[in-house]
Structure 1
């Protein structure tokens, strides 16, 4: 296939004017939204984090297994369910023997992704374990939740043709400052394409003169994961835990694996997860011998870990993310549109950030279909 033919195929695969493409995005979004709702409801003091991660992944697999059965259409988990507490930023999809449990006061960040035929819909949500749900959570946990929520809403409304990536980064920084919080360096929103979670165009959350991302303009017909991650301090982002809890095949790296268990682990990961990240826990559950095989795969780069990231131990991190299609009529949010917000109250106000008019503008969100579950009524944010 010539380079011109490849470019033509990519354009066709990612054409948002094609109703089949949008249908697959929205079908994946319906599943992602419903699964997230169930995981949020299950976030109660005393629950094991690993149980929540397994719940999310099993619900995604169950739901995607019921649709598009004809042919060999790929579908399933685009990002494993991760549940990150307090100072933990991302990529904590616990191993089976992990004893971490939710406690009162924990700031809980959940993220997950679903794909249908490679079209990815993902989201992240933050909730707080509140022992007195009739009273709002206050203090720094409330500040960072409010800051991240409003920064994500501003970023969403700015994501329209003609806006530059630096406009959005600046807005996120200003909203964070209004709540005496900071964007987490090293985290970003990304353009997405079919089978590609991070498709080149990057919108950093933090303004970083040393590693400044190339500025670009938002264009009609693009799809993005808006992913806003804020912290109660400007502490540095670290990856202190070398354990690979989330892995992903590197399709551009080849190596003749020596161990039989390594070859089997790699083959199984390719068959089950394709090009998408997966929870190491799930692979080990297929065959415990894969533990040894994964070590060689990681050492030679054919499987790449997405390591757990943290900020300072006493800090709190909040995260909100959603998938957005940039249409001719403006940004269309297809995930996270109607999730219940934690009941929090901050003494700070978003009005001081200078984006009041932007926030007052309506954001288009599709009405999602929910799976059959029973859940409590939504909790409103109290500013």
Structure 2
């Protein structure tokens, strides 16, 4: 398979970054400090973040990454999801784990971990993607919780985080199948709430949608620079501010308005129930399924 070693290297670095998260996540820690530390580690290892580190707490399910001047801290007894992306020359690893700071949420976290284990044991070339969703849903409901029905895993390709196929977390009738040569992020989301997410009215993560001219010279220049730096991968407003200052942030918001850049809304559990998540990246090879991130190994620490 093309550049398999780069997929593997990205996975190793992502797993190591999550290992650091296990040591750093504590009550009172600033989310900004945690994200900057993990992103810095990825860069020091010779890779790049494939997206900003997501640190989603309690009922926030996904897409929360600290803003430029974020003062939020990890609250007492929190359920903390850390989602890390790494790329090596565009070859991506996407992995996540959940840390419960209270025993009250231990069963929820265990259910998400169990759901990932069941999904991975089901996964093989030729299987229908809907069968993976069925395995996740059975595992989660057997533990007394709900899978989040409108969040899913996804196929990936070089420089493309979501490349077209979805891996459901509930039973579906999709006939799409897993094929040799494909790469997937498998990520069960589990909740004690309503079982689906809604969009908040804010976010800090962006992605270039199109490099088509806006008709405004300075905006086109910014757009080309964002594409040069990040291609089609998500990026943080913090990164833009660090490299381009306040004017870069203003231009970024203008590019969202003219639909050249997409702003990812933070996703919140509809019933405000706590959410847990575990995620691995897998490569489907002729010899079998290669798990590049092996996040469940970290849970044995």
**TM superposition score category, shorter chain reference:** over 0.9
Gaps of 5+ in 1: 1-15, 65-74, 131-136, 342-377
Alpha-carbon separation, structure 1, partners of 2:37 and 2:160? 25
Alpha-carbon separation, structure 2, partners of 1:264 and 1:339? 44
Q: 1:162 offset after TM fit, Å?
A: 2.7
Q: 1:296 offset after TM fit, Å?
A: 1.2
**Would you say the 8 A contact 1:255–1:300 is kept in 2?**
no
Aligned to 1:55: 37
Q: Say if 2:69 is the partner of 1:100.
A: no
**Would you say the 8 A contact 1:157–1:331 is kept in 2?**
no
Q: What is the root-mean-square deviation in Å for CA atoms of aligned residues? A: 2.0
Aligned to 1:297: 255
Aligned to 2:177: 217
Report SS of the residue matched to 2:114. Answer: helix
| Number of aligned residues | 300
Q: Say if 2:116 is the partner of 1:152.
A: yes
Report SS of the residue matched to 2:176. Answer: coil
Aligned to 2:89: 117
Report SS of the residue matched to 2:51. Answer: strand
| Cα distance change, pair 329–91 in 1 and its aligned pair in 2 (3 A) | same
Report SS of the residue matched to 2:144. Answer: coil
Alpha-carbon separation, structure 2, partners of 1:169 and 1:222? 18
**Would you say the 8 A contact 1:165–1:218 is kept in 2?**
yes
Q: How does 1:178-217 map to 2 (within 5 A)?
A: 178-207=142-171, 214-217=174-177
Gaps of 5+ in 2: none
Q: Which one of the candidate residues 82, 101, 115 is aligned to 1:129?
A: 101
**Would you say the 8 A contact 1:103–1:129 is kept in 2?**
no
Aligned to 1:23: 5
Alpha-carbon separation, structure 1, partners of 2:250 and 2:126? 50
Report SS of the residue matched to 1:77. Answer: strand
Report SS of the residue matched to 2:256. Answer: helix
Q: 1:114 offset after TM fit, Å?
A: 1.0
Report SS of the residue matched to 1:289. Answer: helix
Q: Deviations over 1:267-290 (max 9, x none)?
A: 332232222111112112221112
TM-score normalized with structure 1 length: 0.74
Alpha-carbon separation, structure 1, partners of 2:179 and 2:225? 38
Bigger strand share: 2
Q: Which one of the candidate residues 238, 244, 263 is aligned to 1:281?
A: 238
Q: Which one of the candidate residues 249, 256, 268 is aligned to 2:208?
A: 249
